[in-house]
Each structure stands twice: as C-alpha cells, then as structure tokens.
Amino acid sequence: MNTLTQMVAAALPLVLVLVDAAAAQESKVMLKEGAGREKVMQCAVCHSLDYIQMNSPFLNKAGWNASVTKMIDVYGAPIPKEDVEVIVNYLVQNYGKSTDK
Ligand code: HEC
C-alpha cells in the first residue's frame, strides 16, 4: 500500500460518517405518525419533506393524487404503483386541506 491509498483508506470512514450525518439532518423534517408514513419517506429521495408540509394548506385528495402522479410520471420517482394509494391516503389524512377531512 502506498501512502495515498493509506490516506484514502483512513479518510473513508470519516466520509461515510459525514454522509450519514447529512442524511440524519435531512430526515429531521419529521412527518406525522400515521399509517403509510414509511412509504412516504420515499419522497425524500429527491427533495426535502418540507414540500409536503408547504403544500398541505392547498391540496385535497385529488390534488395530492395529481402531485404524487406527477412525481412519478414527470420526475421519474421510483415509487411502486401499489404504494401510490397508501401514500395519497396518508397525505390526505395528515396533510390534506383541512376542509377535505
Ligand atoms: C424523482 C425525484 C422525486 C421524487 C422521488 C419525488 N419528487 Fe416531488 N418533486 C420533484 C421535483 C424535481 C420537483 C419540482 C422541482 C423543485 O421545485 O424542486 C418536485 C416538487 C414537489 C412538490 C412541489 C409542488 C410541485 O408539484 O412542484 C411537491 C408537493 C412534491 N414534490 C411532493 C412529492 C411527494 C409527496 C413525493 C412522494 C410521493 C415526491 N414529491 C417524490 C422530484 C421528486
């Protein structure tokens, strides 16, 4: 092993720790407890879960359905079709426009 390899090998665990810390930070935006929450965590692959909170005053069931569908069709979100209903139900229950509950 040359010195460079040794340095890289030594630095690697540190990098992993930092990446881990960043991921933990991101997940600080906590979604409300509820059925299907773990599926909704898939939304955090691309952007902060803030987006869900920010849009909760505006979106009813049709709105959330359209939004989730758009994430998949337009942005290519890797979310299985069978999860869509669970996710939309969770969003309506916990982050739906209040008149819709
Ligand atoms: C493949 C990446 C990806 C995934 C996964 C994803 N989104 Fe998005 N989302 C985007 C992009 C790109 C935008 C628009 C650009 C921006 O403003 O960052 C966006 C924007 C949004 C917005 C803002 C309003 C809008 O329509 O532009 C909401 C709300 C939203 N996403 C909700 C969700 C929800 C809920 C999920 C999980 C079901 C999800 N996203 C998963 C990529 C993704």
pLDDT digits (tens, 9 = 90+) for 45-92: 999 999 999 999 999 999 999 999 999 999 999 999 999 999 999 999
Calculate Rg over the CA atoms of the chain: 18
What pLDDT score does 9 carry?
Answer: 72
Q: Which pair of tokens denotes residue 68?
A: 């989730």
- 32-100: CATH homologous superfamily? Cytochrome c-like domain (1.10.760.10)
Domain chopping of the chain, boundaries: 1-30, 32-100
What is the average pLDDT score of the chain? 85
The reported pTM is 0.78
- How many angstroms separate the alpha carbon of residue 18 from the centre of ligand 1? 25
Does 7 score more than 80 pLDDT? Answer: no
What are the angstrom distances between the C-alpha of 10 and each of 1, 2, 5, 62, 94? 12, 12, 8, 52, 45
Atom of ligand 1 nearest to the CA of 52: 29
- How many angstroms separate the alpha carbon of residue 15 from the centre of ligand 1? 28
Does 19 score more than 60 pLDDT? Answer: no
